[in-house]
Amino acid sequence: MTNRRKIQWVIAFSLSAAVTGCKVPKATQIQENKFVPQQFTAVDKSDTTNSASVKWREFFTDPNLVVLIDTALKNNQELNVTLQELAIAKNDILLRKGALKPTVGLRAGGGVEKVGRYTSQGAGDASTEIAPGKEMPDPLGDLTIGAYASWEIDVWKKLKDSEQAALNRYLATVEGKNFVLSSLIAEVARSYYELLALDNQLTIIKQNIELQDNALAVIRLQKQAARVTELAVQKFEAEVLKTKGMEFETRQQIKETENRINFLLGRFPQEIKRDKSNFVDLIPAKVQTGIPSQLLSNRPDIREAEYELAAAKLDVQIARKEFYPSLEISAALGLQAFKPSYLFKMPESVLYNLIGELAAPLINKNGLKAEFNTANAKQIQAVYNYEKTILNAYLEVSTQLSNIENLGRSYDFKTKEVEVLNNSVSVSNDLFKSARADYMEVLMTQRDVLDSKLELIETKKKQLNAVVNIYKDLGGGWK
């Protein structure tokens, strides 16, 4: 085949490949829905002030809690794992960026070859003289020193899209790290308030045990005076034992909560420093929600989903461009000879080549189609995930707003309930001493006041945690 014929064949093949390569499947066009209602509640709110913009050091005023959060941000293992994922995503950008540039390297090698005498190459070597009177050596050595380069020309911007997709995934990882930060701060705060609540519940239980012990002593005296039966003594004694059992259950819960906080802080068990005295007097921070559309910029998980969606869309374009012809240029320059003494003999030992290749898939595109269909499905999946994240964010804020309002009302009623029951204890004791009430009324009154006090502490904890939750749900804590 003549050189001219070879050139014609290559051109024909390249044009055929280009035409065939342009027959690519179409991507599914789906537009994500970013709609959110104008308000979180039916009450019209035009104020755009948002508590998410408040730094966590200013939002949480308890100095002991601030120290705990600081420690968690330095030592938490999950956060440190996320930071390594960030480094991995950043390295992927460098990898994609490197694909846009030529690959250049040095190569040196040596070998020996013995071919059969009765072959075309063997016969040719036997009849060839490298110099007058010097035949080609047999076996034939091969020494090479040179530089080589290859470069895929990014005609269709496929490699550039790949770099941008990697950048979007890096930015998504950054937002993922921010979401971990926000969640970690909220989890430490919730656990801290739970610990304070358990401390106060333990104090109430101890106080109640003391009151019940005193009541039991009175009942025993009443029994000696034949005013009550042994049944009353046993009922009161059983109640004291039940409350003492609650004390140790609460102590175990305190230990478990302390260990959970220590785990979040990345350290082995130790006592959590805290002020146990004024839990009931704590006033939950006032939260301003702003407008729902601010969630799109404040919530790290929404921003993460948005970057993942952008990367998925680029993946579809990259998969489509795999059907297009690719152009690659390769070149080499160096020295080659069969003996070291000839290796640096110029210009006879110089070798070079320059090759341009245009290639496109012609037959059996099933692999490319499968990759494209997968990328297309993942793009649709990313759209639904983005919309789900927005919906979830709005509903979380809406739920916590209702929770805060209802807990506030519930706390007011439970406070009044505790006041009434505290008065009823002394009333029931007086009535019992004057034989105007039986021992069961005294017993039930003491049980009711204990339950109501514990419920009041529990409601206070829920109030504080609801504020922590809505601060996180609005996108606060990571800035």
At 6-19, the pLDDT tens digits run 444 444 445 444 44
Contacts of 21-26 with C-beta under 8 Å, sequence gap 24+, read 21/323, 21/324, 21/325, 21/360, 21/361, 22/323, 22/324, 23/323, 24/320, 24/321, 24/323, 24/324, 24/372, 25/320, 25/323, 25/369, 25/372, 25/373
Highest mean pLDDT, choosing among 14-28, 162-176, 324-338: 162-176
What's the rounded mean pLDDT across residues 70-93? 95
What's the rounded mean pLDDT across residues 390-397? 96
Q: Which residues pair with 475 in a beta bridge?
A: none
Write the CA distances from 338 to 33, 115, 140, integer angstroms: 69, 14, 6
Nearest one of 153, 146, 152, 151 to 352, comparing CA atoms:
146
Q: Which residues contact 357 (CB under 8 A, 6 or more apart)?
A: 327, 328, 329, 330
Give the DSSP letter of residue 435.
T
Q: Is the pLDDT of residue 5 over 70?
A: no
Predicted confidence band of residue 365 (pLDDT cuts 50, 70, 90): confident
Percent of the chain with pLDDT over 70: 91
For position 123, what pLDDT does the model report?
81
Phi-psi region of 290 (alpha: psi -120 to 50; beta: other; left: phi over 0): left
CATH architecture group of domain 24-101+156-324+366-474: Up-down Bundle (1.20)
Q: CATH 2.20.200.10 in the chain: give the residue spans.
A: 103-128+136-153+326-359
Predicted confidence band of residue 310 (pLDDT cuts 50, 70, 90): very high
Q: Is the pLDDT of residue 383 over 90?
A: yes
Give the DSSP letter of residue 76.
-
Q: Which residues contact 308 (CB under 8 A, 6 or more apart)?
A: 168, 169, 172, 382, 385, 386
Positive/negative CA dihedral, 422, 423, 426, 432: negative
What's the rounded mean pLDDT across residues 29-51? 80
Give the DSSP letter of residue 77.
H
Predicted confidence band of residue 4 (pLDDT cuts 50, 70, 90): very low
Q: Is the pLDDT of residue 146 over 70?
A: yes
Give the 3-state secondary structure of 119-143.
CHHHHHHHCCEEECCEECCCCEEEE
Write the CA distances from 155 to 151, 152, 277, integer angstroms: 12, 9, 71
For position 443, what pLDDT does the model report?
75
* Residue matched to tokens 């919309």: 387
Q: Is the pLDDT of residue 374 over 90?
A: yes
For position 17, what pLDDT does the model report?
46
Give the DSSP letter of residue 228.
S
CB contact at 8 A, 179 and 304: yes
Q: Is the pLDDT of residue 366 over 70?
A: yes
Nearest one of 209, 208, 207, 231 to 219, comparing CA atoms:
231
Pick the range with the lowest mean pLDDT from 58-62, 199-203, 322-326, 388-392: 322-326
For position 433, what pLDDT does the model report?
65
End-to-end CA distance of the chain: 70
Calpha distance 163→99 (Å, rounded): 9
Q: Is the pLDDT of residue 306 over 70?
A: yes
Calpha distance 213→210 (Å, rounded): 5
**Superfamily in which the 103-128+136-153+326-359 domain is placed by CATH:** Outer membrane efflux proteins (OEP) (2.20.200.10)
Q: State the chain's mean pLDDT as an integer.
A: 88
For position 135, what pLDDT does the model report?
78
Cα dihedral 115, 116, 121, 122 in deg (nearest 10) = 100
Number of C-beta neighbours around residue 132 at 10 A? 5
Q: CATH 1.20.1600.10 in the chain: give the residue spans.
A: 24-101+156-324+366-474
For position 11, what pLDDT does the model report?
46
- Number of residues written out for the chain: 479
Q: Which residues pair with 113 in a beta bridge?
A: 140
CA atoms lying within 13 Å on the CB side of residue 157: 6
Q: Which residues contact 159 (CB under 8 A, 6 or more apart)?
A: 96, 99, 100, 152
